[in-house]
Structure 1
Amino acid sequence: MKRKSLFALSAAIVAVVGAVAALAPVLWSGLDALHIGEALAAGPTDEANLIKRGEYLARAGDCFACHTVRGGKLFAGGLAMATPFGTLYTPNITPDDQYGIGKWSADDFYRAMHTGHSKDGSLLYPAFPFASYTKVTRADVDALYAFLRSVPPANVPSRPHELRFPFSNRNLLIGWRTLFFREGEFAPDPTKSVEWNRGAYLVDGLGHCAMCHTSINMVGGPVNSAAFGGGLIPLQNWYAPSLTSGEGGLGDWDIKDIVSLLRTGVSQRGVVFGPMADVVHNSLQYLSDEDIRAMATYLKTLPQKSEAPETTQMETSEAFGGELLQQGEKIYRDQCAKCHADNGLGMPPNYPPLANNQSIQMHSAVNPIRMVLNGGYPPSTDRNPRPYGMPPFAQSLSNQEVAAVVTFIRMSWGNKGRPVSPQQVAELRSAPLD
């Protein structure tokens, strides 16, 4: 066995934001892309409408998921975010005067979103993705602020972070900000359509999709030269695929399939699992049809870029890979063909195709290994309330058998993946399910 180059996955402080990819909508109704700020600033003045719009933004931005602990009070914070440098805890953002943002002004809130400074001037850790939020318009930030001011205050103290020294020293963030943070609201591209600009605003702003789909370097910053080039999500043991190449790029997808995947979690081309399933369930299914299509339009046009550094990958010898392929074919016929068909074409959208499935043949085999081990369901959404799922095989298949069947599906029907080693399976067998 030999190991390939190690993917620099240290960037703990940007490690969790759910994924991946929840988005910040504003209803444009065909606004001229050159006058985004002016048009949004002239939006509804009625307080009820403003709060409703802010709720839409909060839901689409996945604020609920990060700032609400299961079984806890809405937006009271306390969600643990494990990182290689320690554990961060999300803060209370209810209008409680003592522990929340009750004494924050609209300017205080905008400064946090736009510059990454708290009310007292302290630097915020980039697990709060202000590097993306800085692009969000003042009108949208004000609407979000109005909504948060309308929720019941929760008298729950924010739990202090548990970071190891020297990472507990916020002054170190000055260097990070110098290297990786550029303040400034979204500037539309006048050469692109209104719909494309809308999608860019959603994806690159409150959506912060790049936080999962862009690899990070040893100092915790994004590798901007490989933006959307994919990478392993730190400590979650899921691989966010490249959106700029054949690995997971959407350039050859029909818009309707991208829209379906984002809206419902399933499409004729594949389904979402893991962190992205949470994003669809908690956020994307609530977006308007216009916003989803705008995002799909933008994502489909992402340019080809350099790929993320390769993840650590255990390689098998050619001979052993051949043995795994033969063993995996029998396991597939016995265990998988009933749903995914002998030819790997499946029965989409309920049973996704494995043939010509980009997520199956990525360099990293993390995702298909985890699916065989743990099974899972696409998200339950309004337009797909009872999704078909996949059973787990961790109890019935050994590490070598899992490696064999994953090797088979990665190398059959024209797929161009490489063999999977039993050691890779062993490493993921005990990985957390969330």
Structure 2
Amino acid sequence: MKTLIARLAFTAFLMATAAHADDAVERGRYLVTAGDCASCHTARNGKPMAGGRVVPTPFGAIPSPNLTADHATGLGDWSADDFYQALHAGKAHDGTSLYPAFPFTSYTRVTRADSDAMFAYLKSLPVVRNPNTPDTLRWPYRMRSLMATWRLMYFDEGEYQPDPKQSAQWNRGAYLVQGLGHCNECHASRNSFGAMVSDPFLAGGVIPVQNWYAPDLSMGREGGLAGWSEADVVALLKTGRSSKGTALGPMAEVVLKSTQHLTDADLAAIAVYLKALPDRAPRQQRGNAVDAETVAQAGQKVYAQHCADCHGADGRGKGDAYPPLDGNVTVRDPIGINTIRAVLSGGFAPATASNPRPYSMPPFSQTLSDDDAAAVVTYIRHAWSNRASSVSPNDVRAYRTVPGGL
């Protein structure tokens, strides 16, 4: 009888252990999704998390590594301690410094418990052997020894510490935005050494090499999301669209692979945190002086011919299909790059579970000359309540010839 009881107890222990392991793997899957790891570590048409997607930087290209448990090319020889060290300290399992193309400057905020769950999920994936290709970093940036100085100047190591003065919801949003979501990696300007300018936090900036402007995320006065509600933020992150605008460019991929899969509670927490960001000082718009009469005659004519049917003569858009341009954060970015890119290359929202067949905007690069594109972009940025700077034909010409997109 004692033997039977012991066996039953041991069986129950094994079942509980397996259930706990399953829970950890499922939790890790959610956290890896929240961290948008697939966007870098899954190549186009490649196996999940097997690496190989090239991450472009101003200093050269860095292929993403394999995160499956292959011993030769992936995490097979890594321990949970090694994985935490990578996230928390920006060091590989052999102690070498990782390049900040891997956003350890944000992932350092991730807790050890979340790191362990993420590692458990990655270890559960089908093993894929995918040899790592060398980076193409230029000299001297390929010298890892220089990372010691970079880290000393620009890296603040440490897990997220909750602010006791704030609510649990605010702290959850802060943890997701500052850590797993690594939002500042795009929504910040960078200095000549590739380090983020974090004061003020999430103040917007051009995404290097991809050539899209990630807007200021403050919802306060003069912020990039001024006039947005928390519901607008949740809608954009969940569906790829809101009453204020649509996710385009790199943000469309973030919504597609990451934020649409977050719980409503986490999306609401993100919105609460962004809502609490401080007001911004008025930002100096960069651009060129424009003759109002010329814009009225040229830009408005182009708009009426190619844009008004969808976006409306009043710039208010049409229902859920076509986003408004009046007050649109994409239209009002400080340098006009996003509007130029949308006019030239079109606008393609992500197909999400809540919006499986989104409307898309056709490209006009073959239809509009540089002069006409500059005129219509300038018109849109000046029309209605918009008070953004003008763009020139030279600006349009420059973005016809630079890389970008997904």
What TM-score results when the alignment is normalised by the length of structure 2? 0.91
Specify the alignment match of 1:375 in structure 2. Answer: 346
Unaligned runs of 5+ in 2: 1-17
Specify the alignment match of 2:105 in structure 1. Answer: 131
Specify the alignment match of 2:395 in structure 1. Answer: 424
Measured after TM superposition, the shift of residue 306 of structure 1 is 5.9
Measured after TM superposition, the shift of residue 307 of structure 1 is 7.9
Structure 2 vs 1, CA of residues 52 and 308 (structure 1 numbering), >3 Å: closer, same or farther? farther
Specify the alignment match of 1:51 in structure 2. Answer: 25
Cα shift readout 1:257-284 (whole Å, capped 9, x = no counterpart)? 1110111110111111000011001100
Q: Which amino acid aligns with 2:288?
A: E
What TM-score results when the alignment is normalised by the length of structure 1? 0.85
Aligned residue pair count: 388
Aligned equivalents of 2:255, 2:243: Cα separation in 1? 17
Q: How does 1:2-401 map to 2 (within 5 A)?
A: 46-244=20-218, 248-305=223-280, 315-316=288-289, 318-319=290-291, 322-401=293-372
Contact 1:250–1:300 at 8 Å: present in 2 too? no
Aligned equivalents of 1:72, 1:363: Cα separation in 2? 36
Structure 2 vs 1, CA of residues 98 and 226 (structure 1 numbering), >3 Å: closer, same or farther? same
Measured after TM superposition, the shift of residue 247 of structure 1 is 5.8
Q: Which amino acid aligns with 1:130?
A: F
Cα shift readout 1:13-62 (whole Å, capped 9, x = no counterpart)? xxxxxxxxxxxxxxxxxxxxxxxxxxxxxxx9711111111111112211
Contact 1:215–1:308 at 8 Å: present in 2 too? no
Measured after TM superposition, the shift of residue 348 of structure 1 is 3.3
Measured after TM superposition, the shift of residue 248 of structure 1 is 4.9
Aligned equivalents of 1:356, 1:102: Cα separation in 2? 50
Cα shift readout 1:136-158 (whole Å, capped 9, x = no counterpart)? 11111000000011111112211
Cα shift readout 1:175-205 (whole Å, capped 9, x = no counterpart)? 1111111111111111111111000000000
Measured after TM superposition, the shift of residue 303 of structure 1 is 1.3
1:402 aligns with 2:376: no
More RCO (CA 8 Å, sep 6+)? 1
Query: Which of these two proteins has the greater Rg computed from alpha carbons?
Result: 2
Unaligned runs of 5+ in 1: 1-43
Q: Percent identity?
A: 49
Contact 1:325–1:405 at 8 Å: present in 2 too? no
Q: Which amino acid aligns with 2:187?
A: H
Greater mean alpha carbon deviation, residues 418-427 or residues 282-291: 418-427
Aligned equivalents of 1:348, 1:296: Cα separation in 2? 23
Q: Which amino acid aligns with 2:63?
A: Y
Greater mean alpha carbon deviation, residues 187-196 or residues 80-89: 80-89
Aligned equivalents of 1:231, 1:254: Cα separation in 2? 22
Q: Which amino acid aligns with 2:255?
A: V
Aligned CA RMSD, in angstroms, stands at: 1.9
